Amino acid sequence: MSKLKVAILEDNKMLLKELKQNLDQSGLVEVAVWASDPEDLLQKVSKCSVEALILDIDISGSSMNGLDIAHKLQLPVLFASGKTKDFYAVIEDLNMNTENIVDHISKPITPEKLNKILPKFIKQIRLTNSFKFVYLDFAGSKRNKIAISDIVFLDSDKHFGAASNNKRIYFIDRPPETLVDFTFSKMEDIGFDKTLFVQTHKSYRLNIKKYRSYSNHFINVEVMNEQGKLEIKQIPVSVNFRKIIRELK
C-alpha cells in the first residue's frame, strides 16, 4: 500500500525542517507539501493532492491558524502544537462536527511520539476511506475508484461468466459493469463492509441501504440499466437468509 500523502504547516522554519525530516525518517508518510505560512500551504495544496494534514495551530504573523486551514481543506488532521490545551475545546468541537479524523500531538514532537501516534492516525484514515470507496477492476478498465454509496448489488449470473469468477455489479448512477476475477469471499479484503453488503442468496450480495421493499421472497431495488435509465430489479432471497433479511428492515 502506498504511503499516506500529507501536508505539514509549522511557522517556525527550523521546526518545520525538523518535523519534515522526522516524518521522512519514520517511513510512514510521504510529505508532499510543507510550508511555514498558511497561504503558501493552501496554494501548494491546490496544485498537489494530499490525503491528510499535520498542522501547527498558533501561527504568528498570519490572519489564519491551523484550525482555519483544517476547516478550509476538510481533510483528516493531526494538530501539532505546544498550545494544544489552549485549543482543546475548539479541537473537540471540530472533531464532533466533521466526518474527518481529528487528532493531536503535543510539542516537542519527537520521533518516538510520531512512531506511536502516526500508525493509529493512518489506520483510522485507511479504515474510514475503506467504507467510502473501493477500487475495482472492470472488464475494460482497472483500478476504478467507486463510491460505496453508488453500489446497489453484485451477482454471479452465469450468463456473465461466473465460471471464470467474473461478477456483475449494479449501480444507482451508471450502467452495470463486469467485475473481472472477483470472488465474494474476498470482498472484505477489497473494502466492502460485510455488515452493509449482505448475502441474500449464494449468487447475490446486496447493499442493504438500497433495499426498497420485500415481497414474495424478493427484494426490490432501483438500479441504472444498460441504457442509462433507472429500473426496478428483483433480488432473490433464499430460504436460509429470509429471517435475517426480514430483521434488517
Peptide bond between residue 108 and the one before it cis (omega within 30 degrees of 0):
yes
**Same domain for 187 and 97?**
no
Q: Which of 41, 31, 49 is nearest to 65 (CA)?
A: 41
**Quick one: three-class SS letters along 40-63?**
HHHHHHCCCCCCEEEECCCCCCCC
| Domain around 173 | 137-248
**Same domain for 111 and 164?**
no
Residue-wise pLDDT tens digits, 229-239: 999 999 999 99
Share the mean pLDDT of the chain: 88
Residue 160 has pLDDT above 60, yes or no: no
Higher local confidence (pLDDT), 27 or 188: 27
**CATH number (domain holding residue 187):** 2.40.50.1020
**Same domain for 164 and 92?**
no
Instruction: Give the three-class secondary structure for 200.
Output: strand
Higher local confidence (pLDDT), 112 or 214: 112
**Same domain for 91 and 193?**
no
Average of per-residue pLDDT across 138-149: 88
Confidence class for position 248, pLDDT limits 50, 70, 90: low
Q: Which residues of 97-113 are buried (b: 16+ CB within 10 A; e: fewer)?
A: eeebbbbbbebebeeee
Q: How far apart are CA 38 and CA 55, in angstroms?
A: 10
**CATH number (domain holding residue 18):** 3.40.50.2300
